[in-house]
Amino acid sequence: MFRGSIVAIVTPFKDNKVDERNLRELIEFHIKNGTSGIVPCGTTGESATLSFQEHDRVIEITIDQVKKRIPVIAGTGSNSTEEAIMLTRHAEKAGADGSLQVSPYYNRPTQKGLYEHFKAIAHAVNIPIILYNIASRTGVNIEPETIAKLADDCKNIVGVKEASGSLDQMSRIKQLCGEKFDLISGDDSLTLPVLSIGGVGIISVVANIVPKDVANLVTEFEKGNMQKAKEIHYKLLPLIKAVFLETNPIPIKTAMGLLGMCEPDLRLPMCAMSPENLEKLKKALADYGLLRR
Active site amino acids: 132, 161
Q: How far apart are CA 137 and CA 128, in angstroms?
A: 24
- Whether the Cβ atoms of residue 2 and residue 200 lie closer than 8 Å to each other: yes
Measured between alpha carbons, how far is 88 from 101 in angstroms, rounded to an integer?
A: 9
How many other C-beta atoms can be found within 10 angstroms of the C-beta atom of residue 179?
Answer: 9
Contact status, residue 92 vs residue 59, Cβ threshold 8 Å: no
3-class secondary-structure state, position 132: strand
Tell me how far apart the alpha carbons of residues 200 and 216 are, in angstroms, rounded to a whole number.
13
Closest of 137, 165, 122 to residue 47, by C-alpha:
137
DSSP category for residue 95 = T
Q: Which amino acid is at 132?
A: Y
Residues 197 and 47: their CA atoms lie apart, in Å, by 30
